[in-house]
Chains A and B, each alone.
Chain A
Amino acid sequence: MILKKTRRSLMIVMTKDTMQIVREQDVVPFRNRVRELSTKIGMSLVNQTKLITAASELVRNMLKYANGGKVMLETVSKNAQSGIRLIFMDQGPGITNVQQAMQDGFSTGKSLGLGLPGAKRLVNEFDINSIPGEGTTVTIIHWKHGR
């Protein structure tokens, strides 16, 4: 039997960093850090702005609904393409109906309800995991040459 070598795309984490988000004042330094990282890997201005805006939405949700949390900032590489992965983790109330929260215009905070669905449209990969009573984790990835 001949073993076929399969080329599985493996994601490699190149750098890793964590930031605590506990108050409004933490948003700007956080966004600047994201900008710094994405500039470093040579991301275009449009893609940078998309990533930063999505990150901004998620970090604001964390502050507004979960009293803060932390973000892991990573530069990753897959199939010779580099990108930024951000993992937002909070220990807030969680979201009971994620599907509903992901809809345009749904908000429990008398807001536009565009944060989550908008963030999903802005970045290449979006994953949300929420357990009511335990917290919410949102992971986004934006590639250097994202759409």
Chain B
Amino acid sequence: MNKIAQLLQNNKKQILESWMQNQLADASLRDDLISNEELRRQSDELISGLARATSSGNMDNIYTPEYEPVVEILSDISITRARQGFSPRETGMYVLSLKQAISTVLEEKYSEQPEVLYKELITTHKLLDNLSMVTFDTFIKGREEVILRQTDEINEISTPVIRVWEGILALPIIGTLDSARTQIVMENLLEEIVNTGSSIAILDISGVPAVDSLVAQHLIKTVSATRLMGAECIISGIRAEIAQTIVHLGIDLSNIKTKASLASALQLAFSMRSVEVRKINKNTGFSLTR
């Protein structure tokens, strides 16, 4: 059996203690996020896994079956830490402090044989550096998952359908209208048309930074779907620069009712529903009559 595996097995307790000390000594470790017992359990498991993996003699390729349990434990820890809001430093320190612990024990044991010590240290460092790469990879993956989930949440909340008046819905769209977003917008809108029995929907795109052919296509689709439901769609909030771009791009929106502002779209909607907006006497305010 090779020296590292032997060391991990025979000196497990000593390594674990020293590792735990290293971890806890790191002032940045947040004990509000993980308990000492939990940390000890994880660390114990990892050393055992590492002892088993290294006993195969393979000390450099961690993408082999014998390292699977180790990589799994590490990935698990990194993903969990990413979700819990640990910093990359805290997560990376986990493996890096094990490197320190093993090195210390190696130094004690082979202090009389510098050549052996040197060789074993190099091997250990290489192996643990590889493992720390795994930590970073999965940590980032964990963070990306969080971001994706947040994106979904933002998509959901940023497409409200507003009942502006009886029979009139308004849908302010803010941000980029990609395929996934369009799906949500369309679903919300059609559902609300059914629920409220509305006959007019205003899609306001003041908050859409650019209208390229994909966005235009999505808008056209939404309008067609609305029409199939027996309602009419008005697109408002077409800014001057967007209008020019649409023309150069060659997109034909002539079949769609468009307005520059939400106010003028509302006005159109009111007149389509035979609602009149007029000023009342002495400028005391506005009144709406039907």
Q: Provided the pairs A53-B211, A57-B212 are in contact, do residues A118 and B248 lie with their beta carbons within 8 angstroms? A: yes
Distance of A139 Cα from B56 Cα, bound (Å): 55
Contact between chains at B250 and A60 (CB < 8 Å):
no
The 7 A-B residue pairs with the shortest CB-CB distance, nearest first, are A118-B249, A49-B241, A56-B212, A46-B241, A121-B248, A114-B213, A53-B245
The closest CB in chain B to the CB of A32 belongs to: B209
A interface list, Cβ under 8 A from B: 24, 27-28, 31, 35, 45-46, 48-50, 52-53, 56-57, 60, 104, 111-112, 114-115, 117-119, 121-122
Mind listing 9 A-B residue pairs with CB under 8 Å?
Answer: A46-B241, A48-B241, A49-B244, A60-B214, A111-B213, A112-B217, A114-B213, A122-B248, A122-B249
Question: In the bound complex, do residue A24 and residue B178 qualify as a contact, i.e. CB atoms below 8 Å apart?
Answer: yes
By the criterion CB–CB under 8 Å, are A53 and B210 in contact? Answer: yes
Q: Which of B178, B209, B244 contacts A50 (CB 8 A)?
A: B244
* Residues of chain B with a CB closer than 8 A to A50's CB: 241, 244-245, 248
B234-267 CB contact bits vs A (8 Å, 1 = yes)?
0000001110110011110000000000000000
Q: In the complex, what residues of B have CB within 8 A of residue A45's CB? A: 241
* B binding-site residues for A, Cβ under 8 Å: 176, 178-179, 209-214, 216-217, 240-242, 244-245, 248-251
A121–B244 CB distance below 8 A: no
Q: Which of A35, A49, A114 contacts B251 (CB 8 A)?
A: A114
Q: Is the Cβ of A104 less than 8 Å from the Cβ of B240?
A: no
Given contacts A50-B248, A104-B250, A118 and B241 within 8 Å (CB-CB): no
Question: CA separation between A49 and B212, bound complex, in Å?
Answer: 10
List, in ascending order, chain A residues with CB within 8 A of B242's CB.
49
Given A49-B244, A121-B250, A122-B249, A111 contacting B217 (CB threshold 8 A): yes
Whole-angstrom CA separation of A121 from B213 in the bound complex = 13
Chain B residue at minimum C-beta to C-beta distance from A31: B210
Which residue of the partner chain, among A46, A52, A115, A117, contacts B210 with CB atoms under 8 Å?
A52
Residues of A within 8 A of B249 (CB): 53, 57, 114, 118-119, 121-122
